[in-house]
Amino acid sequence: MRKKGDLLKRARVYSLFYRTLKFRAIKYFSVKLINKSDTKRLHRIKVQTQKEFLHDPTRSDFSRSLSYAFSSHVEGDIAEFGTQTGTSSISILAITEILNMQTFETKYSQYKKIHFFDSFAGFPEITSEFDQKSHHVINRIWKKGGCVGLNFFEFNRVMNKLSATARFTITPGFFQDSLNSQSLLHKFSWVHVDCDLYESTLCVLNYLFSNRVLSEGAILLLSDFYANRGDSETGQQLAWREVAKKYQVNFHDLGFVGTMSNAFLIRSYNGRY
């Protein structure tokens, strides 16, 4: 006959085993439900984006500027720095799929791949004095680990599932680390910079201009140009002003687009500083 102490120990083990299984089951199904929800959400966005594009290619800022990059035969691929929830990423993918198919048979056609860059861990440690004094950082709208969206595995799975013909790469990691590899030196005809902070934006812009990967005639779209109540002494406005001066960028300001964005057409610049 088993002793009472042995029965209690066994009961505790069974209880712990049950709780562990229950926790893992809840976690598994919760993640599965979230993944399914993200797939449905982004699928709706893709279908709607393509429908609107086929009806009117000039309707949105993305479709209009991406159409320009293809029709004007600007050399290079498409890039997005900062993917977060995948909303803009799937819109870019949706439009690029159509444009690649439309231009495939033309004499000067060039298939454009898409390159996605993100930390997949939200914002880095905010150390720049220009970021620290900004409205969004002071009010904790932007903070370390903030604005995190889909993680790398979720983003990769959803994009692969929803991509019909588009070819793309995904580069994870904070920009100061991920943009150091020479293997990442692709020519770009259209770039969407959605990394908010002055320091992160400066890192991306320095990478683009110092390595001369922005083609002549490329579109550069700064997504949070008018964040921080439009303060020109912080964020993307300050980063752009410094980089434009540093690399002697000859550009055409296309103006206010979207909610807080500004677009630029890059004519020429000096690299390798």
Sequential DSSP letters for 54-94: HH-TTSSHHHHHHHHHHHTT--SEEEEE--TTSHHHHHHHH
In the block, tokens 């008018």 appear at: 226
H or E stretch covering 219: strand 214-222
Q: pLDDT tens for residues 35-94?
A: 688 899 999 999 999 999 999 988 888 999 999 999 999 999 999 999 989 999 999 999
H or E stretch covering 172: strand 168-172
Angstrom distance (rounded) from CA 203 to CA 34 = 32
Low-confidence residues in the chain, pLDDT < 70: 1-35, 105-109, 181-184, 272-273
Angstrom distance (rounded) from CA 84 to CA 121 = 9
Angstrom distance (rounded) from CA 43 to CA 159 = 10
Q: What is the pLDDT of residue 73?
A: 92
Query: For residue 43, what are its two tokens?
Result: 């699928």
Angstrom distance (rounded) from CA 130 to CA 239 = 10
| Amino acid letter for position 62 | F
Q: In sequence order, what are the residues at sequence separation of 6 or more whose Cβ sits closer than 8 angstroms to the Cβ of residue 192?
A: 62, 79, 80, 81, 82, 88, 92, 221, 223
Specify the DSSP class assigned to residue 123.
B
Angstrom distance (rounded) from CA 269 to CA 252 = 12
Angstrom distance (rounded) from CA 115 to CA 188 = 9
Strand partners, 272: none
Domains of the chain are 4-268 (3.40.50.150)
In the block, tokens 């393509």 appear at: 50
Q: What is the pLDDT of residue 105?
A: 62
Q: What is the pLDDT of residue 183?
A: 58
Angstrom distance (rounded) from CA 246 to CA 269 = 9
What is the reported pTM?
0.83
Query: For residue 24, what are its two tokens?
Result: 């893992």
